[in-house]
Structure 1
Amino acid sequence: MSAAINNIEIQKAKTSKISSIDFDNLSFGKVFSDHMLLCVYKDGMWQLPKVVPYQPITLDPSSKIFHYGQSVFEGLKAYKDTDENIWLFRPEDNFRRLNISSKRLSIPELPEDYFMAGLKTLLQVDRDWIPKSEGSSLYIRPFVFASGNGFHASPADEYMFIIATAPSGSYFSGKLKVLIEQTYSRSANGGVGFAKAGGNYAGQFYPTQLAVEKGYQQVIWTDDTTHEYIEEAGAMNIFVRINDTLITAPISDRILDGITRRSILEIAKTENIPVEVRKISVKEVVEASKNGTLKEMFGAGTAAVISPIAAFGHEDKDYDLPTLENSYGALLKKRITDIQTNKSEDPFGWRVKV
């Protein structure tokens, strides 16, 4: 799906908040830039997007987002190099996945140019909001939700597409202690686990809070039927290293097709790291920990890129992972972030200049 846009209307904010922001002490997703992209679906079509000042949204209490949860989102980042160039990392993949998620929730798919040209225009308007310090970036949140009204249980007739941005520091600090979930499920066969639907994350919060109360930071999700196979780590894809082989679960209608996950798999091949995409049983991971062959576990996602796991809990017992000087996780994170920030060559064609 595509539609060409020659120019996008820009409504500039009267005053900027940027002088009040401490860019040396940014938390993740707490401070928001001056502008946002707004696009409305009505009368059976997406209207032209425009850049407007970041502002609250007014919705009727009967808006269907509140009642039936038609909402999907994406996450990506913009970076500045030392020459003040702005870069994106695989944004076309985010666009495609947003439409895959939308289709599953009966939300009208967006034209590609509305997303890509709209995003680039927004970044040019708010280019001063992109931080340059190590580990920082401009986090970008595209999302679509049902704004049409009515209590009838059916898809809405109006929607809003918004891109909001937030200058942010590192998402996670330190290593994670995680709990392998044996009761609750993140998603099910035939469900919406592969989509970035807001409700998927809402459903994770309660089991995660139970894990936090036990001293863990995150949950490792297992399959919905037997809880015998690990699938994801919190809101991230998961990788396990046994001996020298890196293993990750295959994507399915339960598991998100992570862009960072795909990037890791491609980079691992160029680094001659043995990779297996297959089901990984909880039993296999526990046994590998016991016999010393479990070398690494880490989560992979846009916000953190790679989050090392220091220990996991299973059936009231904790298992520590070794500390490695030359870990796959550290190597792969550096390869990805160097491409993202234009510090290295990009043999894959992932980096997009704005």
Structure 2
Amino acid sequence: MTMTPSSPSPALPDELAARLDGIELPDPLGFSRLMAPVMSVAYYRDGAWETPRLTGLDPLPLAPHTQALHYGQAIFEGMKAYRNLGDDLDAPTLLFRPYEHARRFNRSAARLGMPELDEQVFVTALEELVGTLERLVPSRQGQSLYLRPTMFGATADLSVVPSTEFCFLICATPSDAFFTTPISAWIERHYSRAGAGGTGNVKAAGNYAASFAAAAPLRENGFHQLLWLDAVEHRYVEEFTAMNVFTRRGDVLVTPPLSDTILAGITRDSLLALGPSFGLKMEERPIDIHELTDAVAAGEDVEVFGCGTGAVVAPVELLGDETGLRLPLPDRSVALDLRGRLLDIQHGISAAPDGWQWPVTALPDGPRA
């Protein structure tokens, strides 16, 4: 027998207002210290999606044999709404490149045998939620309302087949950037993040669970992020656990080319577009870890940094590994310049390419009818 949760009733405007009343942002914000008390939810049944609706951030009633709990048919996106700190856009809040996130969400869904969600429905659900939560969007540059669109197989059935019913939801949390100071990176030389033909190029939930055991040396040695190498030779740089990676040597900015094992980061794409305005030459090519560490050890003009929605741009100050390798990277100037430019765009301070800044109007009277 299969069963899925009933769809939650949409919250009335006064119910949403009551949930938001009296909430104060924590200081420091951190990440997920305060979850917004309102979320957007929709279910896929009988071959069609319901319209997403706002409801309270309450536990979902899941059967113990819900498909996603056993077979991992689950995906997510990470994206942000920023306080508009500029003068040219008549809206209190800005989403950053929401349609690009919608397209990546659908690529993830397709790879895991899940139904796609219409891009406009995805963006409208974001607008409705962010507009309702406008007072929870923090005002300092670099802070944001972090948004987590998620989809999982909701059919309660232990058969090893794709789910036929799905839950889509968006929850939110006021957040600092993941890394506000330079980070240290641990070169992972044994475990692999992803293999050819796998799910490394989409945001499958299991990709992140698979990194947890490998992360033990981070805690033991005081490092922040794993730097993953390719699964075949353990020679070529691929990604950090939560970010794409760039290196700079002289005036050349390099990032690994997209493949089955590398996520098509929205921030990565943004930096490829912004780099030439800083006089940088942009290259997408393999990065040999030995050439990189040799260049750093020789004192060459090298930077390494990660980039992603959560971190924005995170300069690396130290590379290390289990052999005792410890390589400091003193120059972080280009990474910080790129971070500053991107944050100015995300907050509406600087002009942006079409589609990057998406104004969201507050909804003081509750969700749209």
2:42 to 36, 39, 47: 39
1:204 to 187, 190, 211: 211
Code of the residue aligned with 2:334 in structure 1: it is Y
Contact 1:285/1:294 (<8 A) preserved: no
Tell me how far 1:202 sits from its aligned partner: 0.3
Q: Distance in 2 between matches of 1:18 and 1:138?
A: 17
Q: Secondary structure at the match of 2:186?
A: strand
2:325 to 301, 313, 317: 317
Q: Higher mean Cα deviation, 288-297 or 232-241?
A: 288-297
1:247 equivalent in alignment to 2:254: yes
- Residue in structure 2 matched with residue 5 of structure 1 by the alignment: none
Tell me how far 1:9 sits from its aligned partner: 5.6
Q: Distance in 2 between matches of 1:95 and 1:156?
A: 21
Tell me how far 1:64 sits from its aligned partner: 0.4
- Residue in structure 2 matched with residue 3 of structure 1 by the alignment: none
- Residue in structure 1 matched with residue 22 of structure 2 by the alignment: 19
Change (3 A) 1:195 1:295: same
Q: Higher mean Cα deviation, 192-201 or 305-314?
A: 305-314
Contact 2:67/2:153 (<8 A) preserved: yes
Code of the residue aligned with 1:331 in structure 2: it is D
Give a deviation string over 1:140-188, Cα, whole Å, max 9, x none. Answer: 1000001111111011111100011111123213221111111000000
Q: Distance in 1 between matches of 2:238 and 2:221?
A: 21
- Residue in structure 2 matched with residue 339 of structure 1 by the alignment: 345
Unaligned runs of 5+ in 2: 1-8, 361-369
2:235 to 225, 228, 231: 228
- Residue in structure 1 matched with residue 188 of structure 2 by the alignment: 181
Shift >6 Å, 4+ stretches: none
Tell me how far 1:348 sits from its aligned partner: 4.5
Change (3 A) 1:185 1:260: same
Q: Secondary structure at the match of 2:70?
A: helix
Q: Distance in 2 between matches of 1:344 and 1:178?
A: 31
Code of the residue aligned with 1:98 in structure 2: it is F
Q: Secondary structure at the match of 1:16?
A: helix
Unaligned runs of 5+ in 1: 1-7
Code of the residue aligned with 1:345 in structure 2: it is A
2:221 to 211, 214, 218: 214
- Residue in structure 1 matched with residue 4 of structure 2 by the alignment: none
Give a deviation string over 1:191-233, Cα, whole Å, max 9, x none. Answer: 0000100000000111012332133221100000110101101
Alignment of 1:262-341 (within 5 A): 262-314=269-321, 315-324=323-332, 327-341=333-347
Q: Distance in 2 between matches of 1:41 and 1:68?
A: 18
1:28 equivalent in alignment to 2:31: yes
Q: Distance in 2 between matches of 1:186 and 1:334?
A: 30
Q: How does the TM-score come out when normalised to structure 1?
A: 0.93
Q: Secondary structure at the match of 1:27?
A: coil
Q: Higher mean Cα deviation, 185-194 or 122-131?
A: 122-131
Q: Distance in 2 between matches of 1:20 and 1:103?
A: 38
Tell me how far 1:18 sits from its aligned partner: 5.1
Q: Higher mean Cα deviation, 96-105 or 130-139?
A: 130-139
Code of the residue aligned with 2:53 in structure 1: it is K
Q: Distance in 2 between matches of 1:348 and 1:50?
A: 28
Q: Secondary structure at the match of 1:178?
A: strand
Cα RMSD after superposing both structures:
1.7
Tell me how far 1:119 sits from its aligned partner: 1.1
- Residue in structure 2 matched with residue 112 of structure 1 by the alignment: 119
Tell me how far 1:17 sits from its aligned partner: 4.5
Contact 1:36/1:51 (<8 A) preserved: yes
Tell me how far 1:42 sits from its aligned partner: 0.8
Q: How many residues align structurally?
A: 345
Alignment of 1:162-181 (within 5 A): 162-181=169-188
Q: Distance in 2 between matches of 1:332 and 1:228?
A: 27
- Residue in structure 2 matched with residue 4 of structure 1 by the alignment: none
Code of the residue aligned with 2:259 in structure 1: it is S
Higher relative contact order structure (alpha carbons within 8 Å, sequence separation ≥ 6): 2
Code of the residue aligned with 1:21 in structure 2: it is E
Q: Distance in 1 between matches of 2:289 and 2:176?
A: 33
1:58 equivalent in alignment to 2:61: yes
Q: Distance in 1 between matches of 2:224 and 2:10?
A: 43
Q: Distance in 2 between matches of 1:266 and 1:106?
A: 32
Contact 1:37/1:52 (<8 A) preserved: yes
1:141 equivalent in alignment to 2:148: yes
Tell me how far 1:342 sits from its aligned partner: 0.5
Q: Distance in 2 between matches of 1:25 and 1:183?
A: 36
Q: Distance in 2 between matches of 1:80 and 1:219?
A: 31
Tell me how far 1:81 sits from its aligned partner: 1.8
Contact 1:148/1:159 (<8 A) preserved: yes
Percent pairwise identity = 37
Give a deviation string over 1:5-56, Cα, whole Å, max 9, x none. Answer: xxx9653436224524334421112211131110100112111211111111
Change (3 A) 1:349 1:99: closer
